[in-house]
Structure formats: structure tokens, C-alpha cells
Structure 1
């Protein structure tokens, strides 16, 4: 019996330590808590799409995402703390709106991949990573000039 109590106590202590070490400070918040520029972005490019979930995240040195939204059409949009978009991605490889994407990038895709559309775009240090509906990933520099196909 003493061994059983000791084992139970050890397991309970382990569970408490694991839970207390969890640094996941992400939590759901109302859409009204978004920065004004994020709300403007959504009203401009996703006007008639319902927001299903807004999650406030703790930005890290490598990932500056502060808000992550899931829209009713399956598109996820990530914003930084100021409300600037960081990533827009369709969860089912369908096209995303392109009005906020550099016209240089959109023209390049339209010209070189006539049967594909943009299903995701991510701001990265090197510029923009663009995923197409045909599963091809492209890298563009900050000015929107094509750099390479990402393998």
C-alpha cells in the first residue's frame, strides 16, 4: 500500500510539473480585440466571410504571429501585433483572394501557371513564399520578383 501511495504521489507531481511548464499562452479572443488594421484587412478582402475563431498568440523571436484567425471558408489568416498580415492560407488548397498580394507576384503566377491559383502566401525574411493549388511552392523577393521554385 505504501508503494502504491508513493507511486501515485510521484505521478501526480510529474503531472503538475508538466502542466506548469507549458508555455502555451495562446487563447481565444473576440474578433473585436483585433488591431484596427487587421479588421480593415478582413473587411476589405474577406468582407462577407464569417470569422470562426480568433486566437491571440504569444509572438516569439522567430514567429511574430500575434493573432491567428480561422474563417468560415477554411482560410487561416495570421497577423502580427500591429495587425499586418503575415500569412494567408487555404486549408483545402483552394484559391485565396489576391487583392492584397503584389501585382507582380499575381502576374507572374497568371503568366507562368495558367491552370493554378495561389492557395497560400507567407511573408518570410527573404520575401514571400507562395503556394499554388498545383502544390508548387515559389519564392519571391520583397519587391515581388520571382527568385526560385522551392523544393
Structure 2
């Protein structure tokens, strides 16, 4: 019985290693991004040209990463929906932050700028210029401070 369990563990580990080994990153043009990602970039960054755009293909998923000269990085899922905008400690465009979240930050942290925002299954996580990380639900209601 132990031999079968060990064999199963080795097979799963080998499969996981094999899946990650098949990841392929490719530089692509803006026009090759999904339509949602192209619209997002045009809306929030206008005619600014990215330094590079990567398509990260794995067996079960595809993601995109866009970086601008000012070091802002944006990650998109396979459908072109944004997952993360990281200003690398510089402020990100206000237009990306949902209004309810922006209003909360302006009221409670008037001198701080949003330097990073992520959207996940359960809500948003923002990072402020003072290093605080704030969490909000998907409706934009504040839930807690992380840090």
C-alpha cells in the first residue's frame, strides 16, 4: 500500500513539474492582447507605449504582463481582465481605482496615493504610498488594514 502511495506522489509531483516546465513566455504586440486588455490600456494609459508585453502560456492558463517605461506593470488574465496594477511604489492612475475605494482612501488617507491594486475572488487589495495595505470587498466596502 505504501508503495502505491509513494508512486502516486511521484506521479503528481512529476506532472506538476512537467506542467510548469511547459510554460512559455513570448513578447507580443499590443494588438495581440485580448480586446478587454487593449481597451483598458487605451482608457487608462492613452497613447503611452509599453516597454514590453509578455504572453505567458501554460498548459492550463494564459496570462499577460504589460510594463511601461515608468515601471508600472499590469497583469491580465486570458480574457484580458486586469488582475493587478503595480506602480512599483509610484502612484497608479486614479481612473483604475473604483470610485468607492478612491473615496474611502481620500477621506481616511488624504495625503496618500495608491501605488498598487489587485482584484481577486473576494475583493480588492490596495497598497498606499505609506506602505499600508487596505482590503475591500468586491462592492468596494472597506474590510481591513493589512500590515
In the superposition, the TM-score normalised over structure 1's length comes to 0.78
Select which of 94, 102, 105 maps to 1:106. 102
Runs (5+) with no aligned partner, structure 2: 1-19
Runs of at least 4 residues off by over 2 Å: 21-24, 58-61
C-alpha spacing 1:124/1:32, structure 2 compared with 1 (3 Å): same
Residues 44 and 34 (structure 1), Cα distance of their counterparts in 2 relative to 1, 3 Å cut: same
The CA RMSD measured in Å over matched residues stands at 2.0
CA gap of 1:111–1:65, structure 2 versus 1, over 3 A, is farther
What is the TM-score normalised by the length of structure 2? 0.80
Deviation for aligned residue 1:60: 8.1
Counterpart Cα distance in 2 of 1:125 and 1:36 = 22
- Distance in 2 (CA, whole Å) between partners of 1:129 and 1:108 is 13
The structural deviation recorded for 1:65 is: 6.2
- 1:10 aligned partner: none
Q: Shift in Å at residue 112 of structure 1?
A: 0.5
Higher helix share: 2
- Determine the structure 1 residue equivalent to 2:54: 55
Choose which of 90, 93, 105 in structure 2 pairs with 1:94: 90
Query: 1:100 & 1:65 partners in 2: Cα distance?
Result: 22
- 1:57-72 correspondence to structure 2 within 5 Å: 57-58=56-57, 66-72=63-69
CA-to-aligned-CA distance 1:21-57 (integer Å, 9 cap, x gap): 8333122112221011111111110014221010001
Q: What is the rounded CA distance, in whole Å, between the counterparts of 1:105 and 1:65 in structure 2? A: 29
The whole-number CA distance in structure 2 between the counterparts of 1:86 and 1:59 is 17
Specify every segment of 5 or more residues in structure 1 that has no aligned partner in the other structure, as ranges: 1-20
Question: Of 71, 74, 77, which aligns to 1:77?
Answer: 74
In 1, Cα distance between equivalents of 2:76 and 2:65: 6
2:130 match: secondary structure: coil
